Amino acid sequence: MKTFSSLLGAAFLSLASTTTGHAQEQPNIVFIFLDNFGWGEPGFNGGGVIRGTPTPEMDALAAEGLRLTNFNVEAQCTPSRAATMTGRYGIRSGNHTVPLGGGVYGLTQWEVTMAEMLKDVGYDTAMYGKWHLGWSEGRYPSSQGFDEFYAVETTDVTVWPTLTGYAEADMEDNVVMQGVTGEAATVARPYDLEYRGLIDGDLTEKAIDFINRKSGEENPFFIYLAYTQTHYPNIAHPEFTGATGNGVWADILLQVDTYLGRVTQALEEAGVADNTIVIFTADNGPEALQVGSSNVSPTPAVQGSAGPWRGTLFTSLEGSLRVPFAVRWPDRIPAGSVNNGVVHSMDLFPTLATFAGGKVPTDRAFDGIDQSQLFLGEQENSNREGVIVYMGEQVFGVKWNDWKVMFKENSGVFGPTETYDTPRVYNLLNDPHERENVLFPYTWVAEKAIPQLYEHAASFQTYPPIPPGTPDPYVPPVE
């Protein structure tokens, strides 16, 4: 087993997807991406009323389209967002962990984002919400394929000014940035506790305004609406504070559901709903322990729900890696569809490329797999059997269909990491909490699952990862 020690410090074969021309008018795309929103929150996954409020808008979206019950992301915010935007594991772009320590980070100009792919085939693009893929000139969304943006880096920064010692630390102000392509980004306003509860309402209004502006124009549009909820600190908009009578978490769940409904209603009123793909998902599972706050003073701790799965973000458990997913495209994606095949957020890039008539990069390692036929109900099985389970730069194991083979594990953000000389094997159908190691007699599972890890590691010989903090211009090393 010593072969795996080298793999654990390294980061699937180059999976270049061939796109096909679109059979009808290019669809608009509204991609709603929540922050740390667990699998068990929406009613369509068994949450909703048992979390304090019905979620009729989320449930309607799922009922009118496809619900994926095995949709996977990365274990941390930045690698998850990098993987989604580029179709590549975060380690390939140098974004395999949440950035700490300041300085330049995020996506180099060499990376091709989902927005750039769509721009190349005529889309108007906008990004509103949490970015977390670079917070300096050249790394803002307006330099990564978005015509306009209004964004924050992340949300826990809103609490910093209330903490002991922060005022004396001489830190830069936490702000909301805005910008358009071809111009320097500017500061829109401070991002503080007062605005933390208000921002998602503003993001919703900006998305609706973009829909209204672009619906009458010739070009299709793409909106990346990256809500800041349900990331700590949990502060509901005043419109929803106390609305459920079941506490701040239920109020925020009602808020998210209502905002989703306002966006889909705007599509209806603009007359473009029938040819708009609406995606609803999240970057991570729930936070380990989220301290709600209606003001500076913390209120009792609140924990998100991963449904039947154990774990939170920053862990290798399914509660971290598996998030809610629903997608609607009327008359194209069959209503009421449900699929439990393994799909990863990286797969959205090539899938949307197929729908939009775009192209996938072929000059680099590309990990996303086209799932368009699965989405359209033209095939039953996912084109993906497994994913690599990363924690930062370390490979913890692999997932294969309803099995996991793990060489390292952690069960909590602040808990220890355990390393195994012999891998542990879990059957996720029988053991969603990943507690019973069934390596014996299921050694065949390891033999089936592990080759994807070899293939993945070998790809780095041809396509080395970009070191974190690499400045622009980045030029790949010559083979």
- If the chain, 479 residues long, is cut into consecutive pieces of 10 residues, what is the mean pLDDT of each piece? 37 32 75 98 98 98 98 97 98 94 90 98 98 96 98 95 93 96 97 97 98 96 98 96 97 98 98 98 86 44 86 94 98 98 98 98 98 98 98 96 97 86 97 97 97 96 96 89
Residue 452 pLDDT: 95
CATH for 386-462? 3.30.1120.10
Calpha distance 56→52 (Å, rounded) = 13
Calpha distance 303→215 (Å, rounded) = 39
Confirm if 158 and 191 have CB atoms less than 8 A apart: yes
Residue 16 pLDDT: 31
Domain ranges of the chain: 20-375, 386-462
Residue 15 pLDDT: 30
Calpha distance 190→175 (Å, rounded) = 4
The answer, yes or no, to whether the previous bond of 230 is cis (omega within 30 of 0) is yes
Dihedral of CA 355/33/410/100: which sign? positive
Q: What share of the chain is helix, strand, coil (3-state, %, to 5)?
A: 30, 20, 50
Sequence-distant (≥ 6) Cβ neighbours of residue 105 within 8 angstroms: 78, 94, 95, 99, 134, 135, 139, 468, 469
DSSP code of residue 332 = T
Q: Which CATH class is domain 20-375?
A: alpha beta
**End-to-end distance of the chain based on CA atoms, in angstroms?**
30
